[in-house]
Structure formats: C-alpha cells, structure tokens
Chains A and B, each alone.
Chain A
Amino acid sequence: MISIDLILFFIASSLVVGGGFLVVTVKNIVYAAFALLVAMLGTAGIFLLAFADFLALVQILIYGGAVVVVILFALMLTRLEDFKGLTDNSQKPLAVLVSLTVLTIMLYAIVATAMPTSQGDAISMIDLGVSLFQDWAIPFEVASLVLLVALIGAVVLVRQDEEGR
C-alpha cells in the first residue's frame, strides 16, 4: 500500500530533481531562473513533509520570493547575448569530472548513512523562538552580522564604482 505521504514525497522530490536538472541543462538563462524557483518550491515541500513548517515557509519567502526575483531582476537588466559563452566553453571536460566526483561522493554518503525516520511531531513556534533567541543567541547574532557585512560591502562597492567614473 502506497501511503499518501510517499506520493507527496515523490511529487516534491521530482520537482526538486527536475527543476535542478533544468537549471543546468536549459540554454536560456531566464528559463534556468524559473526552473530554480520550481526546485526551491519543491524543497519547501520536502521540508513540509519532514514536519518543518517554519523552514518550509522561510524557504518560500526568502528563496522562492526574494532571491529568485533578484536573480531575474539582474538577468533582465543585462543583455542575454552576454551569457551565450557561459553554457559552452573549453572547461567543460573539467566541469564534468568535478561534478561526477561530487556525485559519487554524495551517492556513497547517502547509501552508507542509516536514514533516521521522522518522528512525526512538529516543533512549536515558541520552542523554536526560545532555542533561536536564548540557547543559540550568539550564533544567530553572528549570522546576522555576516549578512550586515555583506550588505555594507555591496553598498561600498557600488559607491566606489560611481565615484571612480
């Protein structure tokens, strides 16, 4: 008997794998961004099946909404002809080698690891908040500091560009 969870898992994982496959194979780079969105939403589905509702919604909000939109924004402001060389160049054999190595290592890791089955209880928002802002407050703040540095760095780079003109 195939349970409904399993069917949903296969739908979500096929979205992730199919989307990811399209991201690297499609020639048109805007299509690749749309495929990336599909893969991101599929990942949110996998998180939902693992009882991580909060993480799934964050995935939709940050990756599905903001990140893909920013990528598309950048792509549409640039001329698509500039990207022709990206998908087909002389480093292709090396890229194939590297990706096959990574694939082998990951496949070995997946086969060798004993997969824990989900216990089927979602963590409440209050527990999540307490562990994030009390138990792990310093790592959380460090992560936000890293993002702040990246933001300031972006602003500085853009400003220098304008003044140096």
Chain B
Amino acid sequence: MNFQEILKYFVYAGMIFTVLAGIAAYLTLMERKVLAWIQQRMGPKYVGFKGILQPLADGIKLVIKEDLLPSWSDRTVYWIAPIAVLVPALLMWVAIPITDGIVLDDSDLGLFYITAISVLTVMGLVMAGWGSANKWAVMGGLRAAGQLVSYEIPFIMSILAIAMLAQSLNLTEIVNQQTTFAFILKQPLAFVIFFIAGLAELGRIPFDIHHAESEVVGGPFVEYSGAHWAVFYLAEYMNTFTVAVLTTILFLGGWVWPQMPFEGSLHDFLSILLFMFKTVAVIYLIFWIRGTYPRLRIDQLMAFGWKLLVPLSFLNVVITSIVLFYGFSHFVLSAVSIFLTGVLFYMISNRSKKYDSGETVRIVSSSQVRDNQNFKEPL
C-alpha cells in the first residue's frame, strides 16, 4: 500500500463525512416540516426560500453558542463522549452500498460489520451520562444502555433471517437477490421487527425514553450545549438515515426492485434515484410515527422488547430455517410471516386495550360537533 492509496482513503472519509453531515442537516429541516404538517403548522419558513436555509442558520447558531462545562463533570469522559457517538455512525458507512459498485469496501461480512459497529454507539451515550455528573444524565445513560442492549437481540435476529434467505452477508449480494421479489414480501414479520427495533436503537419516539424530556430532562445530553450538543444530534440523524438505508437495502429491494425497463447510464441514474426515493419514504415513516405516537413507559418498553419482539424474532428464524431446509416454496414463508405479523399487531392492540383506564381526554371530530352526534353539551 503506497502513499497515494492511503491518501485516497482519507479523501473518501472526508467525502462520507461531508455528505452525511449535509444529509443529517437537511433531515432536521425535513423532520420539522413533517411535524409541522402533522400538527397543522407552517414549520420553519423565513430563512431562505420556504425555510430552505434553516439548517445552516441552526448550525451557525449552535457553533457560536457558549460551550458550557459543569464544574463537577469528568472532563476527559465528557469531551470524548460526542466523538464516541459520532465515530460508529460514520464507520458503518464503510460497508453500505448506494448502488451496484458505489461502496467503499464490498466486504463479504458487510451486514455483520454494521451490526457489530452499531453496538458501540451505546458506549458514547453511557460516557456522556456518566461524564456529566448529573443524576438525570446518569439515569438517561443507563436507560440508553438497557434499551439498546435489549433491542439489539430482535434487531440482529431479524437481520439473520434475511441473511439466511439471501445466503450471504454481503449487502450488494443481498440487494441483487431481490430482483424479482423484495424481501418485505417474503418476510413481512422480519421487516416489522427490524423497523421497530431500529426505532428503539435510534431512540426515537415512541422509544425515546433515554432522553425523555418529562422524565430525565434531556438524558445524557442535558449538560451539553453548543457544538458538542450538535455533534450528538448530527450522529442521531446520521443513524436515522443509516437505518432507513438499511431498511431499503434489506427489505425494500434497494436499487433493483421493481425492475426498470432502461439501459446503460440512464438505468444507473434512475436506480440511485429509486434507492433514494425508498430511503426518503422510510425516513418519512419514521417522522410520521414521531408525530403520531406517545412515548412508552420504561417497563412497557422492556416488556415489549423481551416478551414480544425477542420470541417472535427467534420464531421467525426457526420458520425461515425450516422452509429453507426442506425446500418449501417461499410463498409458505410469506403466508406464515404475514400471519405472525397479524398476531404481533393483534397482541400490541390487545395489550394497549388492557391498560386502557377510561377516557381522560375526549377526542371529538369537527363533524361530530357540527352534526351534534354523541355530543350533547359543549365540553
């Protein structure tokens, strides 16, 4: 390996960082806009055309903000923590392909590499919590550790079913296996488990108990401000993008499904566009869920992970291996998987009904008010 090759890798690393930072910045704008639409607001609209430069304004504001250091804090751990969160977020992109051939290292262990690296994010959160010397931060860090270690199991198990189906851990190979049928059609249960566990890994609503504002104020980030706080959020949005890209690669057929009747460079260009379209759709779904669902309590979160997702993900692996071993048609797999997905959603809705403690807030639609149905007196 000569000097030029080493330099080449530095340039690649710089490119990945720049592109991902840009994407993460614009995801914040997208999130604010989507939430605003859900809540019937306008969202940011003054900076640039319809608020298009808002991320830039946010960034400048965060960088020039005073960087506070609590006097009790553990300086070394406190400053290393943001880096420990950001580095795994970037490292994962070594193995992630955007389209056929556009990938830094097309490793045969790509999928396993990503799962292994994603675990390291927890360490940064625990370090941030402990280094801040703040009781809410420590509780937030511990919650993050407990939550991420629990949800790692269904996350890996749903990925394992896909790896068995594709007979490979190489991400490009997994995508190329989905030319006729995307894996979401064969493994809807694995998709649902992967998506829910992915949301929990990201710590997004409804699984954001580690920085739940009403319980632990801001979790591990409570003492951080300015640029260091921005680094945490950069990492969080990068991870959101990564999970969306992984969902696209593993379940939605990446850039090959559905097949397009084009040739040459037009085909290549359109397949990147298709890939990006699917990714943005998944991100939209994540933001939509954030705008729609309330936060789970910590015991509900743990019970949901261990009593529902873990057994179902193990069952999914067993069913997949039986189907593959006896060489049954993949339609059997689809049918069983759809049935189990139905069971999963039934159990979720059933449990949420069991804890229903009667009406505290009455939701009245405007048409009911207008037509005066079931609505005798003004509240």
Contacts and interface: CB of A to CB of B under 8 A. Distances in A.
A102 interface: no
A60 B142 CA distance: 20
Contacts of B142: 73, 76-77
Contact of B115 (A37, A53, A61, A69): A61
A13 to B, nearest CB: 19
B287 to A, nearest CB: 28
B149 A70 contact: yes
B109 A60 contact: no
B36 interface: no
Contacts of A54: 109, 112
Contact of B119 (A34, A66, A73): A66
Interface residues of A, number: 22
Interface stretch (B21-29, B50-58, B122-130, B311-319): B122-130
Contacts of A4: 1, 6
Interface string B356-374: 0000000000000000000
A143 interface: no
Nearest to A37: B123
A127 to B, nearest CB: 11
A65 B119 contact: yes
Nearest to A44: B116
A1 to B, nearest CB: 12
Interface in A65-91: 65-66, 68-70, 72-73, 76-77
B149 A66 contact: yes
A57 B116 contact: yes
A65 B109 contact: no
A104 interface: no
A73 B145 contact: yes
A24 B115 CA distance: 30
A31 to B, nearest CB: 8
Contact of A64 (B119, B130, B138, B169): B119
B109 A57 contact: yes
A124 to B, nearest CB: 7
Contacts of B113: 57
A69 B145 CA distance: 7
Given A34-B127, A125-B109, A60 B119 contact: yes
Given A66-B152, A125-B109, A125-B169, 5 more contacts: A65-B149, A69-B145, A72-B145, A76-B142, A77-B142
Nearest 3 interchain pairs by C-beta: A65-B119, A61-B116, A57-B116
5 contacts: A4-B1, A53-B107, A60-B116, A64-B120, A65-B149
Interface of B: 1, 6, 77, 107-109, 112-113, 115-117, 119-120, 122-123, 126-127, 130, 138, 141-142, 145-146, 148-149, 152, 169
